[in-house]
A = this chain, B = another copy of it.
Amino acid sequence: MATPYTIAVPDSKIDDLHKRLELATFPDELDGAGWDYGAPLADVKRLTAYWKSSFSWRDQETTLNQLPQFTRSIKVDNFPALDIHYIHQPSPSPDAIPLLFCHGWPGSYLEVVKMLPALRASNDGVSFHVVAPSHPNYGWSEGPKQRGFGLKQYAESCHRLMISLGYDQYVTQGGDWGFYITRAMGLLYPEACKASHINMIRASPPTLLKNPWQALKHTILPYSDREKKGMQRSKWFAEDGSGYRTLQATKPATIGFALNDSPVALLAWLWEKLHDWTDSYPWTDDEILTWVSIYWFSRAGPSASLRIYYEATHSGPGGVTRDRTQEWIGGVKLGLCYSPKELTVVPMTWGRTLGPVVFESVKPRGGHFAAHEQPEEIVKDLRAMFGNGGPCHAIVKPGAKL
């Protein structure tokens, strides 16, 4: 059922990558462009040179292969089965509860890694069996060949994975697409998904969606300094940082040709986000290139990773729309984590429109990749939420696994 997985990118793919890096050419750049026009030329040149001459995928692969990872076949309704890759780290502690970690784009299952040691250990009367899949179309999972694989299917894929591991009830943590997918899970499987911790809070009164600037100006006045800064951040994201999103949600195949043929294209595409979406996180070149390489060498290819944007935007009847995930969902207890450099930072009153919010935390720093940027903070949140005296203590029945 569950096959231990070894990442083994063929030599031919590594050679091919190097051939392309050898041929790489670069555009010019406007004087004083900084980060305003996108990824800076000096960064992309430096990272390309490092990728070509110093970065060792094989070394990274060896490290990645030390994680407890597996694959198993997961079939969702109306689609052929897919081979799904996941990390599974059970806890030996009797107070452990199942925790599903959902990554987003351009992240991966790697975002859970820094938290693994802490989550395994009992603290405040709780520990966690951690499950962190590569979503379909990402990392080492297969992707569907058929149209229409949307939020419903991503949620179903995660849910069936948890069920197949014997976790009839579980809790979740996620941001980016992890927000949308865990919200869809709470909507579709409230008997299983009992509580969700979210670090990207997408919530708003309907008028904000339709009239952002009026509503922003309108609401800026009564809010705290922190909330005002958050709205400026949200405004920046909507006005200056959303081109990739509009494009991926409408013409993923067109940009997909670029990300598939040119490693420099992929590097620039991702590095811009890794920089703009984090709070001065000190990325190392190895870290950046490992994240980019996971996309470059992914089983479904980098182009496929964009399809979720299209499918979630063109959701047909029976699907789960993004809008629905941003409205009240009653059955799932929510923990909301507010970080200042997240992409959308809403006032707390808006977050509370999502559902029964039982836990809120405000971080003084941190951005979009919360579990990766500040793992100790997310672990702290999870222990407070699910530990002794917390609002979700024993919300699912604990039990040790081997």
Contact = CB atoms under 8 A, between A and B. Distances in A.
A257 B44 contact: yes
A299 B52 CA distance: 28
Given A39-B253, A257-B265, A307 B27 contact: no
Interface string A292-327: 000000001111100100100000000000000000
A310 B240 CA distance: 10
Interface residues of A, number: 63
A349 interface: no
Interface string A263-278: 0110111001000000
B257 A268 contact: yes
Interface stretch (A241-249, A360-368, A389-397): A241-249
A29 interface: yes
Contact of A256 (B19, B38, B210, B301): B38
A261 interface: yes
B268 A265 contact: no
A31 B144 CA distance: 10
Given A23-B19, A23-B20, A261 B257 contact: no
A8 to B, nearest CB: 20
A255 B31 CA distance: 18
A3 interface: no
Contacts of A261: 24-26, 262, 264-265
A262 B258 contact: yes
B28 A303 contact: yes
Nearest to A303: B27
A38 B37 CA distance: 24
A252 interface: yes
A268 B261 CA distance: 11
A253 B310 contact: no
A145 interface: yes
A30 B147 contact: yes
Interface string A216-259: 00000000000000000000000111111011111111111111
Interface in A27-76: 27-33, 37-41, 44
Given A28-B145, A28-B301, A262-B265, 20 more contacts: A25-B260, A26-B257, A27-B253, A27-B260, A28-B300, A28-B304, A30-B145, A30-B307, A32-B147, A33-B253, A37-B254, A38-B251, A38-B252, A240-B250, A242-B246, A243-B249, A244-B254, A257-B268, A258-B258, A261-B265
Interface of A: 16, 19-20, 23-33, 37-41, 44, 144-147, 210-211, 214, 239-244, 246-262, 264-265, 267-269, 272, 300-304, 307, 310
